[in-house]
Structure 1
Amino acid sequence: MSTSIDSPETAEETTPLQLDVQVSSPQACVRDVVVTVPESEVQRYLKDAYDELVPEAQVPGFRSGRAPRRLVEKQFKDRVVEQVKGKLLMDSLAQVTDNQEFSAISEPDFDYNSIPEPGDGPFSFQFSIEVRPEFETPQWKGLALTKPVEKVDDEAVTQALDRVLKDRATFEATDEPSEIGDRLLVTITFKEGDAVLSTLEEESITLADALSLADGVCEQFGKDVAGKKEGDTVSTPVKLGQTDDESDADRKIVAEVKIEEVQKLESIEIDSELLEELGDFESETELREFIKESLTRQAEYRTQQAVRKTVTDLLAESVNFELPADLVRRQTNRELQRRVLEMRRNGFDETTIRGIVNALQQNAKASTESALREHFVLEQIAEEESLDAEPQEFEQEVMLIAQQSGESERKVRARLEKTGQMDALRNQIVERKVVELVVENAKVTEEEVASDAQDEANKSFPVSHSVLAKKDHSAIPEAKYEDNSVTEKTEQAKD
């Protein structure tokens, strides 16, 4: 099992280690590093450790701190050697990452237990580390951009209000055939031939044209299921999204849909009780104003995303670097976290977010590669222009997420910190500031566009289910080397 060791922060100055460091570049974003600590430095660390231990060592037959040094060294050798091994590793890693020209984007990854203990002779180990790709910053001033601007009118507010009411309306079971917009209770068995791949048990869904899944989509779902009644079973094809195995695209998978219950929407009225339930609104007018503000933020988000894509596409045209497959795979969850944070901040409901996440997962490799390229380009511009996230900007983001989720800001911040998403939040803030800077220095033409975002959302209903058994992609990469001691082959290569 691989182990990542963080470089420590020490309050007092330490004498720099004399190191021999060999760096190779097997891929654009990866460095293989071989570190050798000469014997003289190993002995210095061992001596310092014993010097600190001897005055306090408790050895049977001697008063505390009075035992001969040779006896102390013999009795406490194993403990001291293990302590020195850890200190040599941490100090040398800190020195390597500080002094090397590459910019690390992950912690050094290696198997700690496979590295030999220090003793006579030099102390050597090797590791791989992911680094930011090296490229010339593209020319970003004076770009010609088209900025789409959505108009939020009364009709859009009415449609959104209808969706809010529908979420809280009463659905009554019926023997009538199902129609688009009905709520169904279904059990879906996903099969390849006679083999059962997975089952979705008694899931409540809204019947839409398509059913979106975490790793695929039933594009004919509405066509095949509409008109069926309680107790009916119908089959509909499943189209898998992008997977690591290209042959998955040719697999013939069907979803056997058993309709457990059909429910029809009952009418619902806006009264004081409903207004209070929705957010303690005083009137329907106040509720509509709140919805309009939320729709406006969503429209602004789509505009920002469109402008961001235009900007990053133009910038990416002039840079070219490879992205390791392992890096892309591990960054998929981080990219999904970033998108979810953005959407929650901008007032999207959880069903819409689930649908977008499903779409991203179905094309995870391509979308993550694109996001990584964007990040590296924007981050480099941010460094050159001294742009970073300020404390008040974190607070603003947390406040917006809290407003949309109905949670306290304290609870939102605690959750983000616990799940390690504050870094994703920082990237989100910085990248937005870079895009804004590029736009400020660009030639921008605004173009009013009609929004079909809600129409598209209504065409598909998302569920959180994977047709195929999920593969375990650990957030921490496996060690490149089974044994992180420096092999004879590596030593020969150095020579």
Structure 2
Amino acid sequence: MSDETQDLNEETGATAAEETPNLDLVVNIESPSACERHVTVTVSRADIDRYFDDAFSELVPSASVPGFRVGKAPRKIVESRFKKEVSDQVKGSLLMDCLEKIGEDKHFAAISEPEIDLEAVEVPDTGPMTFEFDIEVRPEFEMPQWKGLSITRPMHEFTDQDVDDQLESMLTRYAQLVPSKEPAQVGDYVTLNLKTSFEGKTVEQEEEIIARVRPVLSFTDCELEGFDKLMEGAKADDKKTAQVTLSADAPNEELAGKTLDIELEVLEVKTLKLPEMDEDFLQELGNFESEEALRDAIRQNLERQLEYSQQKKAREQITALLVESADWDLPPGLLKRQSARELERAIMELRRSGFSESEIRARENQLRQNSNASTATALKEHFILERIAEDEEIEAEEGDYNQEIFLMAMQSGESPRRVRAQLEKRGLMDVLRNQIVERKVLAVVQENAEFQDEPYEPQSRDTVEAINVAAGGAGEIHEAVEAKKEAEAEPGDDTKE
């Protein structure tokens, strides 16, 4: 554990133009880990007295004290009567100004708000004031030479067949689901009742889930391989059983890494009826004047997805350069708090790159299944790219925000104004800022790189069907589910187990 003590004795001649008064602080910083700091701050008595003096000087002219006209009570009486209120005010002002000063002096690059136990902080009657806080910071590391890198770059010339395949995939999003009496085939849809259990006890139940028959059924905490073989030939009332193993990062920590039994009851089989490519449908898709205009838009979308893959590949290679110096232990609490924001960032990136909602769901489930590992990788990448951004003075501008929001709106079919409002309401504009800056940094890195082209192999669009269900549930095993079933079952009811 490193321990650096820094005496910040500042000159006392503060000017009126300064927003924060000069403070005579002693700051002691301990480093429990690369991304954690425990900070102890000592404020001089002179500063405390000055803050009290300023607070009472402001209060006296308007103080209301019984027996005196407003503003006419002697200062000593005002000080005695309002000591507690002013003390709380001084404590708040001192804490805020101290934190601001520490930030200005750049002892570390904070990535979270400080954790301070306000109740434990007291302003003493005599002597200095001391308070402590914990804060998460960007780790310090040596940057490698990133200019002149040799980067592998996926390249592809999209053909008419690529556009045909993408168009067919797009049309399925607007197709009608038509009930079928035929057994299920790959590409069909099945309506299912789902139940998972562990050691005979029900864990999770979901009814009337609609899923497309594909090789993999992706849950938020696991994957069911061979879903297509399991469902092929199935018809209404059939029951299929399999097993799934929950990821180590499953939300149900009790069952993380455990193997569950899964039962799928087929309620109905449906097939797709694709829409006609007529004028009305082209207008519904996006006011396209012709099928050729639609195909041009699809080709542009494919180019955006290729750009996404190129930047993802470059990002991975840049991060690989720091393997030796980036082996920081990231605190579990940091990973847990940042995992949701990293998931949001990844989804926003996929959305602006033109991926479909089903593809985004599949990627989202994959990230959830490996949340700690994916978050740790993403944070390390972010720390590296942010350092380059600072060195190169790269920032996000208003036009960048407008462009990103426009691309996300195109993918979702919503207006840019609505997309921006949603981002602001959910507090995600800083996530969008990081996305913009990181993309700009990657562009600069690639401008200074030497490229080795390789064939671009897009991930198959027809392999994974993602559903928003946690096979392991969100918490403890639901023994109450079985108890309720038994309590509700009539004597002789054949549903009672």
Q: Which of the five TM-score ranges fits, normalised by the shorter chain?
A: 0.7 to 0.9
What are the residue-to-residue correspondences of 1:401-412 with 2, within 5 Å?
Answer: 401-412=408-419
Q: Could you say which residue in structure 1 is the equivalent of 2:487?
A: none
Give, in whole Å, the separation in 2 of the partners of 1:418 and 1:377: 29
CA 1:416 to 1:38, structure 2 compared with 1: closer, same or farther past 3 Å? same
Cα distance between partner residues in 2 of 1:114 and 1:408: 48
Residue range with higher mean Cα deviation, 123-132 or 299-308:
299-308
2:5 alignment partner in structure 1 = none
Structure 2 gaps, min length 5: 1-15, 477-497
1:362 partnered with 2:369: yes
Match of 1:150 among 152, 156, 166: 156
**Structure with the greater relative contact order (CA < 8 A, sep ≥ 6): 1 or 2?**
1
Distance 1:83 1:237 in 2: 60
Task: Report the alpha carbon displacement of residue 43 of structure 1 after superposing the two structures with TM.
Answer: 2.4
Alignment correspondent of 1:207: 213
Q: Which residue of 1 aligns with 2:4?
A: none
What is the rounded CA distance, in whole Å, between the counterparts of 2:160 and 2:377 in structure 1?
Answer: 36
Q: 1:379 aligns with which of 386, 391, 401?
A: 386
Q: Counterpart of 1:330?
A: 337
Q: Whole-Å Cα distance in 1 between the matches of residues 95 and 69 of structure 2?
A: 34
SS of 2:100 mapped into structure 1? helix
1:197 aligned onto 2:239: no
Moved more, 12-21 or 205-214: 12-21
Q: Which amino acid aligns with 2:444?
A: L
Q: Does 1:139 align with 2:140?
A: no
Unaligned runs of 5+ in 1: 1-9, 473-495
Residue aligning to 1:442: 449
RMSD between superposed Cα atoms in Å: 2.2
C-alpha spacing 1:250/1:56, structure 2 compared with 1 (3 Å)? closer
2:76 counterpart residue number: 70
Compared CA separation, residues 250 and 240, structure 1 to 2 (3 A): closer
Contact 1:57 1:65 in 2 (8 A): yes
Deviation of residue 359 (structure 1)?
0.7
Within 2, Cα distance between the matches of 1:334 and 1:229? Answer: 41
Alignment partner for residue 467 of structure 1, among 461, 465, 471? 471
Specify the code of the residue in structure 2 equivalent to 1:233: K
| Deviation for aligned residue 1:462 | 0.3
Q: 1:236: Cα distance to partner? A: 1.6
Distance in 2 between residues matched to 1:313 and 1:360, nearest whole Å? 20
Amino acid at match of 1:468: G
What is residue 62 of structure 2 aligned with on the other side?
56
- Structure 1 residues 169, 44: closer, same or farther in 2, change over 3 A? same
Partner of 1:16: 22
Give the structure 1 partner of residue 116 of structure 2. 110
Give 2:295's aligned amino acid.
Answer: R
Q: CA deviation at 1:419?
A: 1.7
Report the secondary structure of 1:109's partner residue: coil
Q: 1:171 to 1:394 in 2, by over 3 A?
A: closer
Moved more, 306-315 or 347-356: 306-315
Q: TM-score, normalised by structure 2?
A: 0.87
Distance 1:407 1:246, change over 3 A: closer
* Post-superposition offset of 1:41: 2.4
User: Counterpart of 1:241?
Assistant: 247
Query: How far has the Cα of 1:12 moved from its partner?
Result: 5.0
- Following TM superposition, by how much is the alpha carbon of 1:267 offset from its aligned partner in structure 2, in angstroms? 5.0
How far, CA to CA, are the matches of 1:188 and 1:407 in structure 2? Answer: 33
Give the Cα–Cα distance (whole angstroms) in 2 for the partners of residues 400 and 101 of structure 1: 38
Tell me the equivalent position of 1:124.
130
Q: For residues 77-92 of structure 1, what are the structure 2 equivalents within 5 Å?
A: 77-92=83-98
Aligned to 2:130, what secondary structure does the other structure show?
strand
Shift in Å at residue 422 of structure 1? 1.7
SS at match of 1:187: strand
Contact map agreement 2:188 2:213 (CA 8 A) in 1: yes
- For residues 197-346 of structure 1, the aligned pairs below 5 Å read 197-243=203-249, 248=255, 250-266=257-273, 268-317=275-324, 319-346=326-353
Q: C-alpha displacement at 1:317, in angstroms? A: 4.8
How many corresponding residue pairs? 460
Of the structure 1 ranges 185-194 and 109-118, higher mean CA displacement relative to structure 2 is found in: 109-118
Work out the CA distance in 2 between the residues paired with 1:44 and 1:401: 52
Identity of aligned residues (%): 43
Which range moved further: 349-358 or 225-234?
225-234
Q: 2:100 aligns with which of 89, 94, 97?
A: 94
CA-to-partner distance for each residue in 1:428-457, whole Å, 9 max, x for gaps? 2222222222222222122233x342x2x3
Question: What is the distance in 2 between the residues matched to 1:423 and 1:74?
Answer: 46
More deviation in 236-245 or 282-291? 236-245
CA contact (8 A) 1:345 1:397 kept: yes
Aligned AA for 2:352? Answer: R
Q: In structure 1, what residue type is equivalent to 2:442?
A: V
Q: CA deviation at 1:131?
A: 1.2
Which amino acid is the alignment partner of residue 27 of structure 1?
A: S
The TM-score normalised by the length of structure 1 is 0.87
Q: 1:418 aligns with which of 410, 420, 425?
A: 425
The residue identity in structure 1 corresponding to 2:118 is Y
| CA distance, structure 2, for counterparts of residue 13 and residue 172 of structure 1 | 68
- Give the superposition deviation at 1:246: 8.9
Letter in 1 for 2:50: R
Distance 1:205 1:246, change over 3 A: closer
Match of 2:184 in 1: 178
* Corresponding residue for residue 398 of structure 2: 391
Separation of aligned partners in 2, 1:75 and 1:220: 76
